[in-house]
Every structure is written in structure tokens, then in C-alpha cells.
Amino acid sequence: MTPDTVVSGTQPLDRSMRVQQAASRAPLRVMFWVQHLLGTGHLERVRRIAEALADRGEIVHFVTGGVPIAGRMPRDVHIVQLPPIRVSDVSFNPLRDEFLQPIDEDFRRDRARRVLAAFEEANPSIVVFETFPFGRRSLRFELFPLLEHVARTTPRPRLIASVREILQLEEVAGRDAEAWELADRWFDGILVHGDAGFARLEETSPFAARSRVPIHYTGFVTAPDTAPPRVPRDEQDEIVVSAGGGGTGTHVLEAAIHARKLSKWRNLTWRVLVGPGVAESRYRELAAHAEPGLVVERNRPDFPALLARARVSVSQAGYNTVMDVLRSGAPAVMVPFAGRRETEQRMRTERLATLGAIDLLDERDLSPPALAAAVDRAAERDERSALAFDMDGASASAALIATYAPDR
């Protein structure tokens, strides 16, 4: 395969066909390493890919290093929970344990030992790294020992990097080159979970154009179930406000709470969804504003169904939220996260706004009046048709991973 390989339109097999297919051969053994720190988007995306592999009949070990989140772990796989690491703010420094205490060298050594033990237990022929080497620099204390151990293993497992369609632009000189040096040295393939017609990896990581590692565009990774059908306009009775699974978007939620009374659509129910990463004390502060017509609650598993009947979706622009909103067809106002010079969400929303898919409200301009005006504009827009992007990235990723098995 060439570095410009594009995979699109992969047809998923139903579960019974996958089981029959797997019965004719020995199952593939795959290990995932995934670390969510602030939000839950990386975990959610890789979870869906792991489940797609399990549906093919493969044996999957899912090594996760973030704080456990109920209902977010993949089904039908072997889960290895490492001592959790998290961060307290967008500086991502220092790394902290689940009690928000900075981790020390003993903690690092213990994690590194546990990762190696998980690898030995999994005995994989393929290891999939979430984001690394294009991020997760602070976790090298456990990743480098794993890479070195893999290199000494016979037969050597294949190594695959799993990244979203838009990477954070590096501010520190040399980091992009360093990441690709690691990719060229250690990795056998890179899965980019997006559509090449929307964004190409070299646009945010220029050294991609000269890498020796095959790059595969899998399509966007979305929920496997069919999105609920959009209800008729006269049944669209809610404004749905969300900020993903992390704790960085409460300013959007709060602005929406105060924007409601300024909007022409204040007669609709405004439903404000608070992610699991938001501290309970902050959640109670937001929930104290609840009143008739204004619901404040924790994130719900039926988010796609809520979007199907939403007159407008208000959100940040993390990968998974954007996928859910685009699949729903709901008019959308997106406020991309821009803390600490983040670029990923801004680039995603600018492209979507250019395509006419969403309305963009810059975080610097966020205020209740500005958000109310944006909601009013979006609510009056005609229903949009779905974008013609490949949205079956989980199944395509699983199929691609299987092609890297040494004996296939």
C-alpha cells in the first residue's frame, strides 16, 4: 500500500457473518493502548474500533490508562485498567493520579511494569497506539519500554498508530519531525480516522508527506447504530446544549443557560447536558439554574435521539460530538475549544462552516446575547442534507487492522 492509500466505502459485515468468517481461521490477537486525560473523545473513538474487531471474532485486549468512566468501556473485549492518570486543566501538566495528586517516579515505574505485563498477557500480533507518536509525549516513560520490548519479541508484532483527522498544530520547533522519526522507526501503519476529502494528515503534520509509513484514511468513526430519523420540523421541540465528556466546556453550557431568555426560541425546552468530566460541585452550580423549560442534567446515552428532535444543537467541536451532530442533520452552532492555543477544533469548525454544515461562534465572542443570536439564526435555516463523507470508520479500521496480521 502507498502512503496515500484511501479506504472508503468499506461494507460492514453483520455479526453472524463475522462470526462465521472468524470460525474458519484462528482469531487475531490485538492489543490497544489508549489514554484519555481531559476529555473522553479518544476513549470513545478507540472503543468503537475495538468493538468492531471483537464483532469480527478477534481477541482484543484494551489497555486503558484514564479514569474509568461507567458505560464507556468496550464490550466483548478484555479490559486492563492501569492506575489512572489524569490532568486538572488544559496545560496537561503535571500528570496526576485519580486523586489529583502529581504522580511520582514510583508511580511511573509501576505503570510501565503493568503495561509490559499487559502486553505479555495479550500476546498480540498487532498493537494499536491511540494518538502516539503524534501526542502523549508525557507518557513516554511507559511507551518507550513497550516499544523496545516489542522490538525484541519474536515474531515482532505489527505496530499501528490511531489518530483523528486533524492533529494539534505543534508550537515547539522540531516536534512534528520528531514524531515522524518515531513513526518511521517503530510503526508499520497509521490509521487516520477521517475522510481524505475533508482533511489530509499533511495539512496539520507536514512531515506526513515524506514518511515511509503507509497512511490509511478510514472514514470517520461514528456510533455503529443507525442514527434516529430526523423528526418533522413542527416536532422539533428542544435546543440541545452539550460540551462533550470533559470538563473544559462549562462556559458554553453556562452561556446557553443565560442565552435562553434572550432567544426567540425560549418557548422550546433548552436541555443542557453536563459531561462526566465536570466536577459534581460545578454540576450542582449549573443545575441550580434549572426551571420550567430549562433542563440541566448529566450526559445521556440517547444523545443521538435527542439530536433527532432538536431544533438546534449547541456544542463545542470535539470529534465525537461533531460526528453525532452531523449524522443527526440538526442545525448546529459550534463554539470550538481554543484554550491554551488549541487548534484542532477551530480547524474542524472552519471547514464545516465553509461547507455550510454548521454555524461557528468563536470562543472569544461567546456571550449569552451572541449565543442567543446564533441559535436564532440557526433555527431559521432550512434542513440540510447529509455531507457525503465516509462515516463507517470503525468497521473500516477493524478491516485494515486485520490486514496487518503477519500471517495474512
Helix, strand, coil fractions of the chain, as percent rounded to 5:
40, 15, 45
Q: What is the pLDDT of residue 261?
A: 97
**Nearby residues of 328 by Cβ (< 8 Å), 6 or more positions away:** 227, 228, 230, 304, 307, 308, 310, 313
Q: What is the pLDDT of residue 6?
A: 42
Q: Say if CB 364 and CB 264 are below 8 A apart.
A: no
Q: What is the pLDDT of residue 2?
A: 36
- Assign 369 to helix, strand or coil: helix
Q: What is the pLDDT of residue 90?
A: 66
- Assign 166 to helix, strand or coil: coil
Q: Are 26 and 157 within one domain? A: yes
Mean pLDDT confidence for 95-102: 93
Q: Are 48 and 96 within one domain? A: yes
Average pLDDT, the chain: 90
pLDDT exceeds cutoff 70 at 10:
no
User: Please, which pLDDT band fits residue 383 given cuts at 50, 70 and 90?
Assistant: confident
Start-to-end Cα distance in the chain: 14
pLDDT exceeds cutoff 80 at 24:
no
Ranges assigned E (strand) in 166-235: 189-193, 215-217
Supply the DSSP string of 311-330, one letter for each residue: EEEEE---HHHHHHHHHHT-
Mean pLDDT confidence for 349-360: 95
In a domain, 176, yes or no: yes
User: Please, which pLDDT band fits residue 171 given cuts at 50, 70 and 90?
Assistant: low
In a domain, 5, yes or no: no
Q: Say if CB 238 and CB 268 are below 8 A apart.
A: yes
In a domain, 46, yes or no: yes
Domain that holds residue 242: 233-379
Q: Are 105 and 190 within one domain? A: yes
pLDDT exceeds cutoff 70 at 22:
no
pLDDT exceeds cutoff 50 at 8:
no
- The domain that holds 345 is classified in CATH as 3.40.50.2000
Mean pLDDT confidence for 260-267: 98
Q: Are 24 and 160 within one domain? A: yes
Mean pLDDT confidence for 38-63: 93
In the Cβ-directed half-sphere of 158, how many Cα atoms lie within 13 Å?
20
pLDDT exceeds cutoff 80 at 16:
no
C-alpha cell recorded at residue 95: 500528570
Q: Are 182 and 285 within one domain? A: no
* Distance (Å, whole) CA 240 – CA 209: 40
- Greater model confidence, 339 or 378: 378
Q: Are 82 and 196 within one domain? A: yes
Q: Say if CB 319 and CB 39 are below 8 A apart.
A: no
**Nearby residues of 25 by Cβ (< 8 Å), 6 or more positions away:** none
Q: What is the pLDDT of residue 154?
A: 95
Q: Are 276 and 175 within one domain? A: no
> Which pTM value belongs to this model?
0.89
* Distance (Å, whole) CA 243 – CA 246: 7
In a domain, 1, yes or no: no
Q: What is the pLDDT of residue 340?
A: 66
Q: Are 182 and 244 within one domain? A: no
pLDDT tens digits, 195-248? 999 999 999 888 998 899 999 999 999 987 667 899 999 999 999 999 988 778
In a domain, 321, yes or no: yes
pLDDT more than 70, % of the chain: 91
In a domain, 139, yes or no: yes
Q: Give how many domains the chain has, as a whole number.
A: 2
In a domain, 6, yes or no: no
pLDDT exceeds cutoff 90 at 144:
yes
Q: Are 47 and 195 within one domain? A: yes
How many C-beta atoms surround the C-beta of residue 9 within 10 A?
Answer: 9
Q: Are 248 and 216 within one domain? A: no
Taking each helix axis from N to C end, the angle separating 250-259 and 280-287, rounded to the nearest 10 degrees, works out to 10
Q: Are 342 and 398 within one domain? A: no
Q: What is the pLDDT of residue 247?
A: 78
Q: Are 211 and 322 within one domain? A: no
